[in-house]
Structure 1
């Protein structure tokens, strides 16, 4: 089981086996907040563990029964929580395509940042994301700089995250040591 040692591990029931666990070759950056635009709540953890109570917030009724997960979430504090081991398929990308290949969940790792499309992410989140990216790319060397994308890149028109507030230049400078190919 491939886990990040710096993360708290909370297993999600929302995952399954990849068709080929040696085919991990894409990193997808997302954002999430539950309820929308609220931070520091247990909503994300509850969603990814299937324990979200629809009576806790009106928005939760809209997503009741949703079965989704990500490999990791990076909270505003920089704390990382892992929900799915990296060699397993988390359910984060939905209907998606990268470079003509569909079903991105089959070969992607999904990282959620606690946030919104329009509010700046924290220094602690960028630091944690950089360190986590280093770990992931060491374990999965097929993930190069050109294979790190936003959810919006693999589901255009359907998804907008990580959003305009995500500083791609800052993040890419942190991971510039990755061999660029593609």
Structure 2
């Protein structure tokens, strides 16, 4: 499978992703570096894929009468930087330079308010179904593109920064598969870019998952 190609422009918008601007975003605190990538899952209605409802939620256009389950979402103002569809297509709602409202109450390494210093990527899915191969390819390729634009040091699931409150991306998300594809793509890029691998080897993943080190 060929991984998609993404490039982050100087304004934080990604070439290779469909742009769909969200009003649910604001400026990061002055001087805040983007060091954390947070992986989520989402589907609306739950377990249904390919609907427009996630984009509608993130852009404040959701028809709350379209499904009985949407009643609990009324008035909710949330967003994510990216959504990765089941077929690997990527939608971007918020510039990476801005603060998307994806993490909520959260803490990473003792530091609260993860929205301030993170990028949020939603995978179209649930805690109870495997993710599609195309999603892992797109997620890994997007991770590399983000690393080339921001000083990312860590990747976490929403469940890791909001334990007890959130469970995504869930037990069926394969961190190992994500890491392996990331490593493969990094090696491919490094073949033509001397010094790239040493510069990007230090991306850390959740506790219990091997640190990302591409195999020689």
Q: Shorter-chain TM-score: which interval?
A: over 0.9
Correspondent of 1:158 among 160, 165, 178? 165
TM-score (norm. length: structure 1) = 0.95
- Runs ≥4 in structure 1, deviation > 4 angstroms? none
CA-CA distance at 1:140 after TM superposition: 1.0
CA-CA distance at 1:180 after TM superposition: 2.1
Change (3 A) 1:16 1:70: same
**Residue 42, structure 1, aligned to residue 52, structure 2:** yes
Partner of 2:213: none
Distance 1:58 1:170 in 2: 36
Aligned length: 179
Classify the secondary structure of the residue corresponding to 2:95. coil
CA-CA distance at 1:153 after TM superposition: 0.4
> RMSD value over aligned CA atoms?
1.2
Partner of 1:168: 175
Distance 2:148 2:203 in 1: 16
CA-CA distance at 1:179 after TM superposition: 1.7
Instruction: Considering Cα pairs closer than 8 Å and 6+ residues apart, tell me whether 1 or 2 has the greater RCO.
Output: 1
Structure 2, unpaired ranges of 5+: 1-10, 187-199, 205-216
Matched-pair contact (CA < 8 Å) for 2:84–2:123: yes
Correspondent of 2:102 among 92, 106, 130? 92
Partner of 2:64: 54
Matched-pair contact (CA < 8 Å) for 1:21–1:88: no
Change (3 A) 1:21 1:133: farther
